[in-house]
Amino acid sequence: MTENWKRELFLNRQFETKSFRIGQVGLDSSIDEIDYLDIVDIYVDKKEYEQLRFKDRLELIKKEKGWIHLASGASFEVRKGIIKQVKLSTRFLQDNKTDRKDLIEIFGQPDIELVDDICYSGFDYNIDANVLVFRKKKIYAFLDPKTDKLKELHFGEFDENVYGKK
């Protein structure tokens, strides 16, 4: 095997949104399919959720929306207990070399490119990522704006209105 064997495995993967799974968990799965021992954090889009215990957050996310984060570097966007988006970090993918060119080779030309940006206090504008949107495949690649390397890969539902136009 070459020194880059992990990267070669990543580049040769067939990413099909409908069939992609982490263990038993894929899009439209119930959160009950997740091995709770793998969960490191639960974010619930509700005021003062931080003060809730783990098991209470888990119950709350069955009725609300939020994110479940695993130790492996994978995360799931959840709405009313159902997984609507899967996010894979480069830690999960075990790849920190894949760039824009590689992603276009794998998925083809993106439909649009967006920016994940934020403005603090009117003067401090920051671009966190450039987002390649592959609508038909329901795949979204977040790239580091300075290096053009992959930061995260998302599958599933995606609200483009949250992001800026490039």
Same domain, 46 and 116: no
Q: Say what the pLDDT of residue 17 is.
A: 77
Domain final position from 90, 116, 134: 90
What digits encode the pLDDT tens for the residues 25-65? 999 999 999 999 999 999 999 999 899 999 999 999 999 99
Report the pLDDT value the prediction gives residue 8, as an integer from 0 to 100: 61
For residues 19 and 79, state if they share a domain: yes
Structural domain count of the chain: 2
pLDDT for the residue 12:
62
**Residue 163 falls inside a structural domain:** no
Domain that holds residue 128: 95-158
Q: Are residues 60 and 127 in the same domain?
A: no
- What is the per-residue pLDDT for 1? 44
What gap in Å lies between CA 73 and CA 90, rounded to an integer? 8
For residue 1, tell me if it sits in a domain. Answer: no
Percent of residues, the chain, with pLDDT higher than 70:
90
> Angle 25-163-100 (CA atoms, 0-180°, nearest 5)?
70
Is residue 166, in this structure, part of any structural domain at all?
no
Q: Tell me, what amino acid is at 78?
A: V
Pair (81, 107) in one structural domain: no
3-state secondary structure the chain: CCCCHHHHHHHHCCCCCCCCEECCEECCCEHHHCCHHHEEEEEECCCCHHHCCHHHHHHHCCCCEEEEEECCCEEEEEECCEEEEEEEEHHHHCCCCCEHHHHHHHHCCCCEEEEEEEEECCCEEEEEEEEEEECCCCEEEEECCCCCEEEEEEEECCCHHHCEEC
Q: Which residues of the chain fall short of a pLDDT of 70? A: 1-15, 121-122
Q: Is residue 132 part of a domain?
A: yes
